[in-house]
Amino acid sequence: MRRLLPDPVDSVTLTHAYPYPVDGVWLRANMVSSVDGAATIDGRAGGLGNKTDQQVLGLLRALADVVIAGAGTVTAEGYGPGRARPEYQELRAAAGQLPAPGMVVVSRSLQLDLASRYFTEATQRPIVVTCEAAPPDRLAAAQKVAHVVFAGDASVSAARMVDALSELGHRRLLCEGGPTLLAQVAADGVLDELCLTLSPMLVGGSSRRIFDGELLDPALKLQLTQLLQDDEDFLYASYRVKK
């Protein structure tokens, strides 16, 4: 992996390329997009990536306290439980983290497959973030297999979600979307960093963009802090939100 910005180097150690700030709560999003802006191929993001992209994904998860995703993404991508990756155990132990990151799924309706391995094979109870208006029967079922957090009345507030996760001791947050959840995170002003893999593909069609929500007014301004390139011409950009 080469670093193009801020200072070019021929080889970069990935574990040193994506540090979290030492203090405070930090919400990092990780998304992938084709050159023409598609966030998925046939409804899934996986077809846009490569082996290196998966390595970056695994590293970003290993650095995080929790991995956050919307219910649609968890279902479409076939999410499983958080994995304890042997190559990152010393890194996590030094940071005072559990062997595997916690998993967080966001859902207003709680239409979740509670019998999936995401819940049944988890070494620590997943966190379900929902709102007070969630269906009572689905809420009762979710509470049997997960730690349920309320982050809003009629809908889920991304800002209240971050506050709730912080109160549980989680400050290194990784959001993997999808596009609707990322839009909510950005609109609520709690997005700190965007890690974007740019896939050297043209997809066409009607695929969603990485951000699918209401027009932001004013638009969020980003600062490019890092740009990496692999041997297959995938680009890995890191942006900080200007606040």
- Residue 200 pLDDT: 97
Domain boundaries, the chain: 2-241
Class of domain 2-241: alpha beta
Q: What are the CB-based long-range contacts (under 8 Å, 24+) for 133-141?
A: 133/108, 134/107, 134/108, 134/109, 134/110, 135/109, 135/110, 138/109, 138/110, 138/111, 138/112, 139/110, 141/110, 141/114
Cα–Cα distance, 74 to 144 (Å, whole number) = 19
User: Over its length of 243 residues, how does the chain's per-residue pLDDT go in tens digits?
Assistant: 999 999 999 999 999 999 999 999 999 999 999 999 999 888 788 789 999 999 999 999 999 999 999 999 999 999 999 999 999 999 999 999 999 999 999 999 999 999 999 999 999 999 999 999 999 999 999 999 999 999 999 999 999 999 999 999 999 999 998 999 999 999 999 999 999 999 999 999 888 899 999 999 999 999 999 999 999 999 999 999 998
Residue corresponding to tokens 């011409």: 233
